[in-house]
């Protein structure tokens, strides 16, 4: 069962195991244009059933959180502060799992705070978005232009969303629901991820990392996920025949299984 609470103006979803467990809590951080809701139907119930207390926040300006009116002025540093606010309020020391922009937020979090372990899922690489933007512009110029329209506050359609996020067959009802929850993203945060506030690798805490990408990802191509893995000296897991939204592809349990195996190996 998913419960929702407000922590300092931030929307926080929680899904707890039905039995007491000593397994470490998980905190999920969503990507651009999304909110904490993206974890509630698949990953959170799955990992709670495995014994992990699960929490997901909507970063400020997203979902049911505060400061929507300031969305274009919000920075990655603001998002890092949000993660810390939730961790302190819940009084937990969670494993952090970040998707796309959320993975970038996790990397910036590690500059200022330790974490027991982190998973970067289709994450913006530490070198930033520039390579991904040029790759998309050259490979799919129409999609590149449409994403810039979304950044400007315009809404897209289900065909564009399917092309951007999914590789396999998509349930039309799920796609329509996702489209209804999507929103514009902070232009300042996009600039931060492009070149102006990249992770300082020399200042970062380096906990155990899991790095996962998707073979058919058009937004963070697999070669950039491999670059992230090389930067951190970690193995790279690329999910075949899957797109960027690994939480909602029909075959999402394959992604969850990789995380399951990694979490088990973390247990002393």
pLDDT digits (tens, 9 = 90+) for 176-211: 888 889 888 999 999 999 989 999 999 999 999 999
What 3 state SS string does the chain have?
A: CEEEEEECCEEEEEECCCCCCCCCCEEEECCCCCCHHHHCCCHHHHHHHCCCCEEEEECCCCCCCCCHHHHHHCCHHHHHHHHHHHHHHHCCCCEEEEECHHHHHHHHHHHHCCCCCEEEECCCCCCCCHHHHHHHHHHCHHHHHHHHHHHCCCCCCHHHHHHHHCCCCCCHHHHHHHHHHCCCCCHHHHHHHHHHCCCCCCCCCCCCEEEEEECCCCCCCHHHHHHHHHHHCCCEEEECCCCCCCCCCCCHHHHHHHHHHHHHHHCC
pLDDT at 233: 97
pLDDT at 52: 97
Domain spans of the chain, in order of start? 2-266
CATH superfamily of 2-266: Alpha/Beta hydrolase fold, catalytic domain (3.40.50.1820)
Spans in the chain with pLDDT lower than 50: none
pLDDT at 137: 79
The two three-digit tokens of residue 49, written as one number: 């059933």
pLDDT at 153: 60
pLDDT at 152: 60
Enter the pTM of the model. Answer: 0.95
pLDDT at 150: 64
């Amino acid at each position: 069962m998913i419960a929702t609470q407000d922590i300092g103006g931030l929307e926080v979803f929680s899904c707890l195991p039905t039995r007491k467990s000593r397994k470490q809590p998980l905190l999920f951080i969503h990507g651009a244009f999304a909110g904490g809701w993206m974890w509630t139907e698949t990953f959170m119930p799955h990992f709670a059933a495995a014994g992990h207390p699960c929490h997901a926040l909507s970063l400020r300006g997203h979902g049911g959180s505060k400061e929507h009116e300031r969305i274009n002025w919000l920075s990655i540093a603001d998002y890092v502060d949000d993660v810390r606010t939730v961790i302190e309020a819940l009084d937990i020391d969670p494993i952090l799992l970040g998707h796309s922009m959320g993975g970038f937020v996790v990397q910036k979090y590690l500059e200022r705070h330790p974490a027991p372990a982190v998973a970067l899922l289709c994450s913006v690489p530490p070198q930033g978005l520039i390579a991904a933007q040029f790759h998309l512009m050259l490979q799919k110029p129409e999609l590149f232009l449409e994403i810039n329209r979304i950044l400007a506050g315009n809404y897209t359609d289900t065909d564009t969303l399917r092309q951007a996020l999914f590789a396999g067959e998509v349930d039309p009802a799920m796609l329509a629901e996702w489209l209804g929850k999507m929103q514009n993203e902070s232009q300042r945060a996009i600039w931060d991820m492009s070149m102006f506030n990249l992770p300082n690798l020399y200042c970062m805490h380096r906990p155990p990392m899991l790095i996962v990408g998707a073979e058919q990802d058009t937004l963070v191509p697999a070669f950039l996920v491999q670059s992230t893995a090389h930067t951190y000296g970690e193995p790279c897991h690329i999910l075949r025949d899957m797109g960027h939204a690994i939480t909602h592809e029909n075959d999402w349990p394959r992604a969850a299984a990789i995380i399951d195996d990694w979490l088990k190996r973390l247990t002393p």
